[in-house]
Structure 1
Amino acid sequence: MYGKVLICDPVDSVLREKLSDKFEIDYNPEISAQDLLNVIGNYDVVVVRSRTKITRDVISRAKKLKIIARAGIGVDNIDTDYAEEKHIKVVYAPGSSTESVVEITLAMMVIGARSLFKGIENTKKNNFTKLKGIELEGKTLGILGFGRIGKAIVDAAKVFKMNFIAYDPMPVEYPEYVKKVSLEELLQNSDVISINVTMRKDSPYILNDPELAKLKEGVIIVNTSRARAINGKDMLKYLKNGKISAFVSDVFWNEPAKEDYELEMLSMDNVMITPHLGAQTKEAQKRIAIMTADNIINEW
């Protein structure tokens, strides 16, 4: 056996199957933060998804730890700087859930454009009042964060015959059918904005009040990446006055919500929040598990 692996969150069984002949595995998908602190010193590898946080305190107690594996596409729940300082490898699974995130993003765009969430809520109360929406055809889709997922969203959204603009602070390639713009131009000209950014846990907000004030009237915002991309307290004002006609998001600042602005937002007719469903497909979870297991074996 190579060493001991602790799996802290639910993962597809294929991950354990691929590692079982090389590692001793403890599967504890509901481990508490305190229990993790108590036992982490016994393990060479720890596997997490988004629920479990690998903090400085956890790493400080991880005397044997060689690899931190994130079974997902981001590492904002891991103190990567301290892990690097301690010479611990951090691996993740980029691209493994692209298809699933693209599909839910397009679904959210349609939901926001047609007020489907309010319509469903009404009919469950036997209220069949018709709600008027907009068509996506001919509208401008702005992609904030033009990486792998942003590019895939554009390719999938071609079916809607939209116009495409994109902003990314990093030097990335733009196909001829996507116009490269500044952040200000994206905010001013997008009818729909899809947020697809990667952020560290201490990254500042990208969209604060000065940026949100530049939004096009009636814009729909879809976020399937990181809640910290937007200052929620600042955004509430623009949801109330209608400048943002719909906010459909798979991420939230606190989960469950606890701040007053979050609770108020959840009660609004033009807001729909889902609980991190972007990668929650059988296919994506299997790809994530396979890539995570391969990462661990390769890095060992």
Structure 2
Amino acid sequence: MDKVIAHISGIKKLTNQALDILSSISSVCYVKINSESELKKSLKNCDIFWFRLNHKITEEVLKNARCKYILCAVTGLDHIDIIACKKYNIKVISLKNEKEFLKEVRATAEHNFGLLLALIRKSKSAFKHVESYQWNRNLFQGEELYKKKIGILGLGRLGKIIAEYANVFGMEVYYHDKIDFEESIYTNCESLEDLITQVDILSINITYDDTTHFIINKRILSKIKKSLYIVNTSRGGVVNEDDIITFLNKGKIKGYATDVLYGEPDIEENKLIKYAEENENVIITPHISGYTKESIEKTEIFIANKFLKNFNKN
């Protein structure tokens, strides 16, 4: 590459250290992209494309791309067509499988518990109540986490951190994972059905792929013996949102809190948002669980260094 050009999309300004690393080998241009045609144009005019979750990178947008590196400081890559990237010899630099580094990035696990607490203490409706100049505490009797049984679907990096936090709250921790952690101090459930029948709260923390698409569906939800709360900080595609709504209406799900939606960021027709507008037992945040000052700084510096090592090899 004679003149290396990096395009940064959806980020106001990279962390200084990450920017210094990137600037040492390329010119840096912050771009505003509002359509697929603008995304195609950007990929045609850069060698390095840095973004997070604000675009879907499909084979169609990659067909005539000049870009040879996609940098994405996230763990889940369902918004990037990895097969197409390989086809066009584009390297994806991300946080996927960076287990040791990610042990120090805890923002998502913290948000997971923030959502759970807001859900179980009816904070959404309580906030609205006071903002309308009312003060009736009798409307908002919540529940405690202490002694509740929490089921963690996916005892990976985030699942283990959430289990630690649950332990501090005095909760009983159950989990289901495709890996059987023999050394775990928590109760292993051999199946998702077994997990969902034993717990008061289900925390979804699995990786999203073809095997976990709509893994939470009406067949699984029909196994619920007592109403439970569900928190999802994984990906929207792991749950069938229509089925979630059905079981909310049946009272089998007490409440659903999620930081992710199926098809995001295209949410104009999302039925779960419509349900949340009319019901207080659904809380939705716009995929902000990992979006803290500390995590942004750590992950951007890590991705910049990882890219530099890869770039220098070529």
TM-score normalised according to structure 1 size: 0.92
1:180 corresponding residue in structure 2: 188
| Structure 1: runs of 5+ lacking an equivalent | none
Of 230, 236, 239, the match for 2:248: 239
Give me the whole-angstrom Cα distance separating, in 2, the residues matched to 1:36 and 1:251: 23
Given the alignment of the two structures, is residue 6 of structure 1 paired with residue 7 of structure 2, yes or no? yes
2:48 corresponding residue in structure 1: 45
Give me the whole-angstrom Cα distance separating, in 1, the residues matched to 2:254 and 2:25: 53
Of 10, 14, 18, the match for 2:21: 18
Inter-CA distance 269–156: structure 2 relative to 1 (3 Å threshold): same
2:307 corresponding residue in structure 1: 296
Given the alignment of the two structures, is residue 221 of structure 1 paired with residue 230 of structure 2, yes or no? yes
Give me the whole-angstrom Cα distance separating, in 1, the residues matched to 2:91 and 2:290: 24
Query: Does the CA contact (< 8 Å) of 2:180 and 2:188 recur in 1?
Result: no
1:123 corresponding residue in structure 2: 130
Give me the whole-angstrom Cα distance separating, in 2, the residues matched to 1:289 and 1:77: 19
| Structure 2: runs of 5+ lacking an equivalent | none
> Residue type of the partner of 1:18?
I
- What whole-Å deviation, never above 9, does each CA across 1:35-56 have from its counterpart, x for those lacking one? 1212312222211110112111
Per-residue deviation at 1:296?
1.4
Per-residue deviation at 1:275?
1.2
- What whole-Å deviation, never above 9, does each CA across 1:113-148 have from its counterpart, x for those lacking one? 111111112121223232122111111111111111
Runs (4+) of structure 1 exceeding 3 A deviation are 29-32, 200-203, 254-257, 259-262
1:40-119 to 2 correspondences below 5 Å: 40-62=43-65, 64-93=66-95, 94=98, 95=102, 98-119=105-126
Give me the whole-angstrom Cα distance separating, in 2, the residues matched to 1:125 and 1:97: 40
TM-score normalised according to structure 2 size: 0.88
Given the alignment of the two structures, is residue 258 of structure 1 paired with residue 275 of structure 2, yes or no? no
Query: Does the CA contact (< 8 Å) of 1:69 and 1:292 recur in 2?
Result: yes
Query: Does the CA contact (< 8 Å) of 1:70 and 1:292 recur in 2?
Result: yes
> Residue type of the partner of 1:59?
L
Give me the whole-angstrom Cα distance separating, in 2, the residues matched to 1:44 and 1:96: 31
Query: Does the CA contact (< 8 Å) of 1:45 and 1:69 recur in 2?
Result: yes
Query: Does the CA contact (< 8 Å) of 2:7 and 2:42 recur in 1?
Result: no
How many residues align? The count is 298
1:155-234 to 2 correspondences below 5 Å: 155-169=164-178, 171=179, 173=181, 175-181=183-189, 182-200=191-209, 204-234=213-243
2:37 corresponding residue in structure 1: 34
Inter-CA distance 172–52: structure 2 relative to 1 (3 Å threshold): farther
